Structure 1
Amino acid sequence: MSAVADWEYAPLRIPPGTSRSAAATMLSLQADVGGWELARLQLHADGTRQAVLRRRARLSYLPMPVT
């Protein structure tokens, strides 16, 4: 995790073989629980998804994404 200006960023790797709907559910849970939003999503040739989540920098009482 790194802080840039007013945003916190956290990388999240979604393993290959994870369905699109399961990946969307994982990301929506992170948004609901931790206040994260999707900044970037890349789909690699091997099926791995690399997501970058972001949220406004604030007190760290909210949980980090589960990797």
Structure 2
Amino acid sequence: MRGNIGRVDGADDYEYAPLRIPPGTSRSAAATMLSLQVDVGGWELARLQLHADGTRRAVLRRRARLSYLPMPVT
């Protein structure tokens, strides 16, 4: 299960990280991937989109003061 991470500069209080989950990834595997990001890096789910081709695009966010924590892991 691999996703692509890119960094997006956000508002002053938050930092954002977009995450692409490839088609063919099961719903439970995607949920597990996202919950691990929450547990490990202090991220929360800001947006989740499911596209017609099966690709999921998630945007994770966290308070900027937590930037010492790791970025999302793919």
| TMscore range, shorter length | over 0.9
Secondary structure of the residue that 1:8 maps to in structure 2?
A: strand
- Contact 1:36 / 1:55 at 8 angstroms: preserved in 2? yes
Task: Tell me which moved more, 48-57 or 1-10.
Answer: 1-10
Taking the aligned partners of 2:67 and 2:42, their CA distance within structure 1 comes to: 11
Q: How do 1:52-63 and structure 2 match up within 5 A? A: 52-63=59-70
Unaligned runs of 5+ in 1: none
Q: Tell me the TM-score normalised to structure 2 length.
A: 0.84
The amino acid that maps onto 2:18 is: P
Taking only aligned residues, the RMSD between alpha carbons, in angstroms, comes to 1.1
Taking the aligned partners of 1:66 and 1:21, their CA distance within structure 2 comes to: 17
Secondary structure of the residue that 1:23 maps to in structure 2?
A: helix
Taking the aligned partners of 2:69 and 2:37, their CA distance within structure 1 comes to: 10
- Report how far residue 59 of structure 1 moved: 4.8
How many aligned residue pairs are there?
67
Q: Tell me the TM-score normalised to structure 1 length.
A: 0.93
Q: Give deviations 1:43-65, integer Å, cap 9, x for gaps.
A: 00100000000001115320001
Taking the aligned partners of 2:58 and 2:65, their CA distance within structure 1 comes to: 21
Unaligned runs of 5+ in 2: 1-6
Taking the aligned partners of 1:21 and 1:63, their CA distance within structure 2 comes to: 23
Identity of aligned residues (%): 88
Higher strand content, 1 or 2: 1
